[in-house]
Amino acid sequence: MGRVRVGVLISGRGSNLQTLIQAAQAPDYPAEIAYVIANVADAKGLDHAERAGIPACVISHKDFADRAAFDAALDAALRKAKIEIVCLAGFMRLLGKKFTEDWRDRVLNIHPSLLPAFPGLDTHRKAIEAGVKISGCTVHLVRPELDDGPILIQAAVPVAEDDTPETLAARVLEVEHRCYPLALRLLAAGAIRVTGKTTRHGATAPKGSLLNPGGTG
């Protein structure tokens, strides 16, 4: 059985893209990063795709009259590349209702907070100003609403009294790089069951993972 073909949408440096590329190099990983699309021509993440020999293209949102036309172009490119799952990795555009419904339960996003807390931008500043003691990241299935959808995985990190948005961001990014490959693994392996706004893991998580840190099962 072949691996699931994954398309990754980026806007910037692509650190999570690189993490997914590295994870997919494992022989037992159920997905391959098969295509990368950037909406910004100078997105640094395109360099990761080039080094890995992954086909990539730029589809600039500025070339389209509205969101629907841009989404249609993304959809056409993904389908032409025979993509089955889409991962948003620092993709700074909202996807419209038609796109998210057409790809329902096949689009993943990672957000640098413990949703539903602190959706949108400036999450680390918001967390510090709110005085929370933990923050973290969330991998979720995408819905039309901003940073909404069934949650697959979350991981928490402490918020220190002397944290700045930059220091907290660095700590959260470390767990992002662990969570995203695991969430994609579970979805690509068919180990996620979605019921309404909730998800259940239908198979045992890999040993040593965030879901199974003790390596049992």
Q: Which residues are catalytic?
A: 111
Query: What is the chain's length?
Result: 217
DSSP result, 148-175:
-S-EEEEEEEE--TT--HHHHHHHHHHH
* Nearest by Cα to 54 from 85, 81, 87: 81
Q: How many CB atoms lie within 10 A of CB 15?
A: 17
- Which of helix, strand or coil describes residue 214? coil
Strands (E), 39-73: 56-58
